[in-house]
Amino acid sequence: MDDAHLPGVYHDAETASARGQRATLRLSRVRLLGAVLAAVGGAFKWKIGGGVDFWAWVALGGFLVALFSEFLLWALHPELKWNAGRAVAERVKSLAWRYAVAGDPFPGDAGDVRRDLEAKIDEIVAEHSKKLLLTSTNAAGDQAMTELRGRSFTERRDAYREIRVLGQLTWYRERAERNEKRATLWRFLLFGGEFVAIVLAILRINGVWDVDLSGVMAAAVAGGAAWIGLRQYENLNLAYLAAASELARIYRHLPFTAETDWATTVAEAEAVISKEHAAWLASRPSTT
């Protein structure tokens, strides 16, 4: 069983989240670049033919680009779809795996667990029906989940360990490393920008030129800081490291788990993943 076998609602939410993320990052990037462009236009003067100030038009263009991007972010709310989509996808994924391997709240000796699974998914869909279109089904995936649930305890345990836990552990580990590298890179860029801004300001004080390039660098540094705030590289690195550490411990212990403790063990593993998701969502704008 893999992501292709998860319920159709999961795939709808994943698609909506990916689209919302791309739109949010694209528009935010354009908005920040527009602000820097406006600062560049404000720093220079060049009148074409003694009349029209070219750089004034550049500044105006930068402000208009930033304003239009800000308007689209406000009107389309792509970040809310990004957040809501991920919330739905991760909750449905967790429920699907709990069901497929007979983990809590769908233990092997429970009653009509399939009905309970659908009821919980319906609750999630109802919470986000005003923001996301969640209508797809996945018959092949339903069959794969049911088949895995019907296998022996050892098979279910091994499948959960190697596919769900190890897959999530690898994802967190890779993302932690990537975010650490990006956080370090952006911090160096900000330090470099601030140093250049100081040098330019000193040169202007000493009459080397009268162009306010330090203002341009200040705008660039502010834009970089805003980008770091949006991407949250450092916070994500710490959250992913913590989740990876916990999942690594669970991965090591899973082979020794008794069948009588299986349902609660699965719940423990899923709680680690849910904790990271909850922390991520808490740092974003409301998805309700």
Task: For residue 287, tell me if it sits in a domain.
Answer: no
Give me the pLDDT at residue 179, please. 92
From CA 39, how far away is CA 53, in angstroms rounded? 15
**Does the pLDDT value for residue 30 go beyond 90?**
yes
Number of compact structural domains in the chain: 1
DSSP state of 106: S
Task: For residue 219, tell me if it sits in a domain.
Answer: yes
The fraction of the chain above a pLDDT of 70, given in percent, is: 96
Task: For residue 288, tell me if it sits in a domain.
Answer: no
Tell me the β-bridge partners of 52: 48
pLDDT tens digits for 62-88? 999 999 999 999 999 999 999 999 999
pLDDT tens digits for 121-165? 999 999 998 889 999 999 999 999 999 999 999 999 999 999 999
Q: Residues near 134 by Cβ (< 8 Å), separated by ≥ 6?
A: 9, 12, 13, 88, 125, 128
Domain extent for 219? 3-282
Pick from 45-49, 170-174, 230-234 the range whose average pLDDT is largest: 170-174
From CA 95, how far away is CA 273, in angstroms rounded? 12
Instruction: Work out the pLDDT band at 287, boundaries 50, 70, 90.
Output: very low
Give me the pLDDT at residue 285, please. 56
From CA 92, how far away is CA 12, in angstroms rounded? 11
Give me the pLDDT at residue 277, please. 83
Give me the pLDDT at residue 172, please. 93
| Residues 97, 272 contacting (CB under 8 angstroms) | no
From CA 173, how far away is CA 38, in angstroms rounded? 40
Instruction: Work out the pLDDT band at 49, boundaries 50, 70, 90.
Output: low
Pick from 49-58, 128-137, 279-288 the range whose average pLDDT is largest: 128-137
